[in-house]
C-alpha cells in the first residue's frame, strides 16, 4: 500500500510521502534530513530498517510515532483543510492519560492544536495513550535516547516511576533540562496543607488520583470498618484486603507514601493483609458473598461511581487523607516559549472540569469546584522525599518487602 511505511522504504521516500515525519526524524538523531539536498542524497541510500539499526532504536516504537504524526495530519486536513507540513518546526508531546478522561480530553486538545498551529505556524506532534496500556512504550523511547534532543519536548503522566527514575526522565531532570511552566499562582483549595509546588522548578502537577477505601460491610464479620491507614494496616485485617497491584501509578503512590511515613513495617503489613489484587472494576461489580471476598478494597476514587445503591459496599475517605498519585508534567526549558501555552491548556478550567466529571481526578486549578468536602484531605509523598531519594530504588525495596510478606504462610 502506498500509505504504508515498510522497513525497506528509504528515508527519502518516507519523508517525501509524509513531510510531517521530518521533524520526528530530526528530533531523534537524524539532523541531516532537515536539509533538502542531504535528505535526498543520504535519505535515498538508507532504508528505514538500516536507520533504526544504526541508532539502536526500536523500529516498532519509532514506526508508531511516525504513524501517529501522519494520522494527526490527516485528521487536521480533513477537519480544517490545513496542511501542517509547512510548519518550520514542531513540538513533540508524549504521555498517558487515565482511561476515563482520554477521549473527551483529546477531543478538546485536537481543537487546541488547530488553533495553536493557525497562530504560531508550529505543529504539535502528540502521542497521548490510555494509561491502561502502561508506559513501557514511553520508557523504551526514553531509554534508547542518547541525548535530550531525542526525547519528547513535554511529558504528561500519572505516577512516580517514569518521572523520577534516574535511568529515564530523572536523568534529564538532573541535567537541568526541564522547567515548571505552570501559569497558576495558587492551587485549588482542596489541596490546602499539601505542598504540590515543585520547589526546584522542574515539574508541575495538573491533578491527582486519590486512593480511598471501599468497605464491604458483609465481610467485616464484627470488625469496625477501617477509617484510617493505620487501621487498614492492623492485624485485624489480615488476609482481608484487595489492592490495586496492577495499577502501578496508584499502587506505587500508596507504597511510597506509607514507606516514607510509617516505615518498612507498613509495607509488610500491607502484604500480610492482602487477600487479592482484584481489579477495582471487578470489586465494585461483584457483590455476591464468598469466602474469597475482601472486606476492604483500596482503589481510585473514580471507581466509586460504579457502585449501585443497595449493595453492602460503602465508600470511606480515610480520615488521615487519601493518598495522592499526581498527574505530572515535565517540559523542556529550551522549548518553553512553544510549550507554556500547551501546559496552560492542560491546567485550564475546561480540562479541569473533564478531570473532575469524567475521572473524579481533582484538578489543581483554583477555579474548579472539585466537589470534595472540606474534611476530606490528601496525603502527598512530598518533594523533599522525592529529591532526597532514588525513587526507583525505594519502589524496589517496597516491592521486596511486600512480596515477602505476601508469600509468608498465613496464620
1-69 and 210-322+392-407 agree in CATH topology: no
Phi and psi angles of residue 181, each rounded to the nearest 5 degrees, phi first:
-110, 20
| pLDDT of amino acid 75 | 54
| pLDDT of amino acid 82 | 36
d(CA 155, CA 64): 17
Beta bridge partners of 330: 155
pLDDT, one tens digit per residue, over 116-130 is: 998 988 889 888 887
d(CA 245, CA 399): 10
- CATH number (3.40.190.10, 3.40.50.720, 3.20.20.60, 2.60.120.10) of 210-322+392-407 reads 3.40.190.10
* Beta-strand runs (E) in 277-397: 296-300, 313-316, 322-331, 378-379
- Residue 306: which pLDDT band, with cuts at 50, 70 and 90? low
DSSP string, 169-220: HHHHHTTT-B------SS--GGGTT---S-TTSS-EEEEEEEEEEEEEGGGS
| Rounded mean pLDDT, 242-246 | 86
Name the grid cell of 356.
Answer: 473532575
Name the grid cell of 86.
Answer: 509547512
Residues, the chain? 411
Radius of gyration of the CA atoms of the chain, in A: 23
d(CA 346, CA 135): 20
Find, among 402, 328, 379, the residue nearest to 161 by Cα: 328
Task: Kindly report the number of other CB atoms within 10 A of residue 358's CB atom.
Answer: 18
CATH superfamily of 1-69: SP0561-like (1.10.3910.10)
pLDDT, one tens digit per residue, over 55-101 is: 777 787 788 778 877 776 665 544 433 333 334 468 999 998 887 78
pTM recorded for the entire structure: 0.77
- CATH number (3.10.180.10, 3.40.190.10, 3.40.50.2020, 3.30.360.10) of 70-207+324-378 reads 3.40.190.10
Amino acid at each position: 500500500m502506498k500509505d504504508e511505511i515498510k522497513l525497506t522504504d528509504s528515508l527519502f521516500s518516507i519523508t517525501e510521502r509524509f513531510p510531517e515525519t521530518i521533524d520526528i526524524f530530526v528530533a531523534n538523531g537524524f539532523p541531516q534530513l532537515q536539509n533538502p539536498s542531504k535528505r535526498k542524497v543520504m535519505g535515498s541510500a538508507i532504508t528505514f530498517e538500516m536507520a533504526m539499526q544504526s541508532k539502536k532504536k526500536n523500529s516498532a516504537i519509532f514506526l508508531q510515532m511516525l504513524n501517529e504524526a501522519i494520522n494527526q495530519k490527516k485528521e487536521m486536513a480533513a477537519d480544517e483543510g490545513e496542511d501542517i507540513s509547512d510548519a518550520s518546526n514542531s513540538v513533540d508531546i508524549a504521555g498517558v492519560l487515565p482511561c476515563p478522561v482520554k477521549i473527551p480530553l483529546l477531543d478538546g486538545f485536537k481543537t487546541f492544536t488547530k488553533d495553536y498551529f493557525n497562530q504560531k505556524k508550529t505543529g504539535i506532534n502528540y502521542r497521548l495513550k490510555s494509561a491502561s496500556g502502561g508506559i513501557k512504550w514511553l520508557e523504551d523511547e526514553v531509554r534508547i535516547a542518547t541525548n535530550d534532543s531525542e526525547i519528547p519536548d513535554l511529558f504528561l503522566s500519572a505516577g512516580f516511576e517514569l518521572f523520577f527514575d534516574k535511568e529515564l526522565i530523572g536523568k534529564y531532570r538532573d541535567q537541568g533540562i526541564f522547567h515548571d511552566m505552570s501559569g497558576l499562582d495558587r492551587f485549588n483549595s482542596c489541596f490546602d496543607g499539601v505542598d504540590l509546588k515543585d520547589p526546584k522548578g522542574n515539574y508541575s502537577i495538573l491533578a491527582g488520583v486519590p486512593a480511598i477505601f471501599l468497605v464491604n460491610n458483609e465481610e467485616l464479620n464484627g470488625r469496625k470498618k477501617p477509617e484510617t491507614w493505620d487501621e487498614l494496616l492492623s492485624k485485624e485485617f489480615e488476609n482481608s484486603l484487595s489492592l490495586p497491584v496492577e495499577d502501578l501509578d496508584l499502587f506505587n503512590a500508596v507504597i511510597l507514601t506509607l514507606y516514607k511515613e510509617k516505615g518498612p513495617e507498613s509495607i509488610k503489613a500491607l502484604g500480610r493483609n492482602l487477600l487479592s489484587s482484584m481489579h477495582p472494576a471487578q470489586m465494585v461489580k461483584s457483590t455476591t458473598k464468598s469466602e474469597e471476598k475482601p472486606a476492604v478494597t483500596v482503589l481510585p476514587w473514580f471507581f466509586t461511581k460504579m457502585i449501585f445503591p443497595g449493595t453492602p459496599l460503602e465508600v470511606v475517605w480515610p480520615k488521615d487523607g487519601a493518598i495522592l498519585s499526581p498527574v505530572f508534567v515535565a517540559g523542556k526549558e529550551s522549548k518553553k516559549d512553544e510549550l507554556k501555552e500547551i501546559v496552560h491548556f492542560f491546567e485550564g478550567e475546561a480540562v479541569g472540569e473533564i478531570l473532575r466529571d469524567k475521572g473524579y481526578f481533582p484538578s489543581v486549578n483554583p477555579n474548579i469546584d472539585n466537589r470534595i468536602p472540606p474534611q476530606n484531605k490528601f496525603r502527598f509523598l512530598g518533594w523533599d522525599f522525592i529529591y532526597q531519594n532514588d525513587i526507583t530504588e525505594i519502589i524496589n525495596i517496597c516491592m521486596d518487602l511486600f512480596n515477602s510478606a505476601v508469600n509468608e504462610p498465613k496464620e
